[in-house]
Amino acid sequence: MQRNVECLSLLEKALESLKAQDMVKIENGMFLHTLFGEATFVANFSPDCANILNSNLLKDLNSGVVFSSHFHLLLTLIPYDIGSPINWDLFHDEFRKLSASEKHMLSKMNIQEADILRQITARKKAEKGTPPMRLYIAFIMMDIWNKMPVSNVAKKYDLQKGWIQNTLQSVCSQAQRIQRFSELLENLWPLKLLLPHVIAKLNECKNAELVPLMNLDCVKFGRAKVLYDKGFKTVKAIADAKPSDLLSNIEQISLAQAKRIIKSAKTTIDQMLNNQEEERILYGLSL
């Protein structure tokens, strides 16, 4: 009996908490989910996270999205539970590269250059979820967005390659969850329109090694991944292959397509070699 009373008390507290956070409402004596509660559930956010995220997203949107680059959107997508050691000198260098509009946007987030200089002097540790930490991770993600190899990014920020790859995956997941979240909330409609492109680009960044293959005729993401997984990891490997090699390893590919893919790979390599030869001539290095 005592246990039942305790369970009932916990249930009442949980429902009151959900009601206070606008997750549920009472109609005709029944608890029903709100639209905000449904969006939270669909996006797989906790109620606390959903409220913080919704508040920050609305604040960002009301302040105006900066379209001079994708930096503002990437910053919006950085999860609150990721942390990293910060190189404050590098932080300042990256901050100084931002456009005036991007710096103005950051000032509305209480991130001022003077504050960064004080952080550099104090070498104070930034906590997960704080604006400086999320901004620093956004700098890392922006380098990946701009197609800097992950190994180079890892070296630049003195981080493990695996950590960067995991963080990129987390950002992709967060972007997809925010998209589902915004699809049900009318006041977040700009994100519903903007995020599909960002998510597609982030997924490309996750599979940067496939990009050269995807530039070949008849090769899109799915086929590029199959080629890579089957050992055709480079354009050169495909150029050296025979049509029968592709036919025996790749499902749902015709002989004509196999020949076209190989021809495209050979053409790509020839063009690259020709371009290199032209550069050698310009520099007086040609034999």
Taking alpha carbons only, the member of 95, 96, 111, 105 closest to residue 66 is: 105
Predicted confidence band of residue 163 (pLDDT cuts 50, 70, 90): very high
**pLDDT of 143 over the 90 cut:** yes
Mean pLDDT of 203-232: 86
Task: Say what the pLDDT of residue 66 is.
Answer: 67
Burial track 158-175 (b if 16+ CB lie within 10 A, e otherwise): ebeeeebeebbebbbebb
How far is the CA of 179 from the CAs of 61, 166, 167, 175, 237, in angstroms? 14, 20, 18, 6, 38
Alpha-carbon Rg for the chain, nearest whole angstrom, is 25
Per domain, the residue ranges of the chain are 1-33, 47-208, 216-283
Task: Say what the pLDDT of residue 202 is.
Answer: 87
**pLDDT of 58 over the 60 cut:** yes
Protein fold of 216-283? DNA polymerase; domain 1 (1.10.150)
Predicted confidence band of residue 287 (pLDDT cuts 50, 70, 90): low
Q: 24 - beta bridge partners?
A: 33
Mean pLDDT of 171-189: 90
**pLDDT of 151 over the 70 cut:** yes
Q: Which of these ranges, 116-120, 171-175, 190-194, has the smallest mean pLDDT?
A: 116-120
Q: Which positions ≥6 away from 162 have C-beta within 8 Å?
A: none
Mean pLDDT of 196-224: 85
Predicted confidence band of residue 251 (pLDDT cuts 50, 70, 90): confident
Task: Say what the pLDDT of residue 82 is.
Answer: 92
Token pair of 191 as six digits? 């994100």
**How far from the centroid of its chain's Cα atoms is residue 17's Cα?**
32
Predicted confidence band of residue 57 (pLDDT cuts 50, 70, 90): confident
pTM of the predicted structure, to 2 decimals? 0.72
Protein fold of 47-208? Sec63 N-terminal domain-like fold (1.10.3380)
Report whether 249 contacts 196 (CB < 8 A).
no
Task: Say what the pLDDT of residue 260 is.
Answer: 93
Q: Which of these ranges, 61-75, 207-221, 253-267, has the smallest mean pLDDT?
A: 61-75
